[in-house]
Structure 1
Amino acid sequence: MNDETLTEAERFWEERYRGDDRIWSGKPNEILVRETADLTPGTALDLGCGEGADAVWLAGRGWRVTAVDISPTALERAAEHATAAGVGDRVDWQRHDLADTFPAGTFDLVSACFLHSPLDMPRERILRQAASAVAPGGVLLIAGHAGPPSWKPDSHHDMHLPTTQEVLDSLALPPGHWRVERQEVVESAMTDPEGRPATRPDNVLKLRRLQA
């Protein structure tokens, strides 16, 4: 890919992934695991899949996954992860800048876990598109940071981290068509850059579509 043709967002994320052999842990998000473990596998859409840990975990549990990211390097690593895990045939990796394009179809699960960016991104519009992609009876799972990590309390001071209610209101869902199954702030366990135990507050919004 010619870097000169990339948008600002594409260049930012591609440079971030190229700058390190691995950005993420390779483990699925705990919120995703907790909130989807009891769901019947079907079709899933993973928005901002990164290096693919969530998509690979879902595929390993029987889901057929469409996984989307803006970075070709991230998607290459994700595909390698899926192949190594024996689920490469269960994941369709697609490159999208969600500000411009969105995957086609409807899904039994749409996951938007930590869809944040330091660049301008139409997150509210993207999440409304995510809601539109949920099939009747399906689930929309949105997880987002609620505050800075314990080891760096002054981080993200210039980024608005919306509450679950702000996210819910911005979705503008038609009354009676959806049910809120989870709306809370949780303390997520993690490690700091030195490998020490740490925490971070995260928002969880889980919605089930009752009708089209």
Structure 2
Amino acid sequence: MTDDTPAPAEEFWESRYRGADRVWSGRPNELLVREVAGLTPGTALDLGCGEGADAVWLALEGWRVTGADISATALRRAAGHAADAGVGDRTGWERHELGRTFPEGVFDLVSAQYLQSPVELDRRAVLRDAARAVAPGGTLLLVMHAAWPSWQTEPPFDAVFPTLDEVLAELGLPEDEWTVEARETVRRPSAGPDGVPGHRDDHVWRLRRA
């Protein structure tokens, strides 16, 4: 007899997606577009793909994309957006609780955009799985919030934001196998829900496997 009770993380994200017709903007993440623009399209893995905006953009740019997320609702929406954009044949979708299960295979690009969660997530395990999934000559692209946005005076939950060095240490990559091509904190304008101007600080890591 199997236990079909959802794990706490799955329950949280399913509730989040089912509670709204759309959770995210539908536009690809700005820093993904910036960092990937010069790469030759190949195979890509989008970790925590949500409703699929990044994966659809990559597919439109010529990539063959696998999107992975914990929420079945999000994945259904992502598949629908891909079909609407005419790239259903260039995208595939897999449900995984990252840190516990992970897509098989290797990819020319592995992207994890804002893979930060208010519920349990084994970030170190996910990062190391992500690095192992990068094909020789491929790229690992990570983007994470470096802090709460400037206008967020009362954070909705406790969070610890990793530093640039902490994430590299968690990856534990052999220096003779990897080149750090980008490692920086990017500040971008961002208005709060009430229109108050402010900014967001995000960390970016782009690494290439030998």
User: In 1, distance between residues paired with 2:82 and 2:198?
Assistant: 29
Aligned counterpart, 1:82: 82
Runs of 4+ in 1 over 4 A off after TM superposition: none
The number of equivalent residue pairs is: 208
Secondary structure at 1:176 match in 2 = coil
| Structure 1 residues 184 and 136, CA gap change in structure 2 (3 angstroms) | same
* TM-score normalized by the length of structure 1: 0.94
Aligned counterpart, 1:164: 164
Aligned counterpart, 1:53: 53
Question: Quick check: 2:67–2:91 contact (8 Å CA) kept in 1?
Answer: yes
TM-superposed CA distance for 1:156, in Å, is 6.4
Deviations 1:121-167 (A, max 9, x none): 10111101000000010000010000011221442672111011110
Aligned counterpart, 2:97: 97
Question: Quick check: 1:190–1:200 contact (8 Å CA) kept in 2?
Answer: yes
AA in 1 matched with 2:101 = T
Question: Quick check: 2:31–2:143 contact (8 Å CA) kept in 1?
Answer: yes
TM-superposed CA distance for 1:174, in Å, is 1.0
> Which sections of structure 2, spanning at least 5 residues, go unmatched?
none
Question: Quick check: 1:56–1:81 contact (8 Å CA) kept in 2?
Answer: yes
Aligned counterpart, 1:12: 12
User: In 2, distance between residues paired with 1:197 and 1:25?
Assistant: 19
TM-superposed CA distance for 1:176, in Å, is 1.0
User: In 1, distance between residues paired with 2:197 and 2:81?
Assistant: 26
Deviations 1:86-133 (A, max 9, x none): 111110111111121100000000001100111121011110100000
AA in 2 matched with 1:55 = A
User: In 2, distance between residues paired with 1:180 and 1:21?
Assistant: 39
Cα RMSD for the two superposed structures: 1.5
> Which sections of structure 1, spanning at least 5 residues, go unmatched?
none
* TM-score normalized by the length of structure 2: 0.95
Higher mean C-alpha displacement, 192-201 vs 158-167: 192-201
User: In 2, distance between residues paired with 1:156 and 1:200?
Assistant: 16
Aligned counterpart, 2:25: 25
TM-superposed CA distance for 1:47, in Å, is 0.1
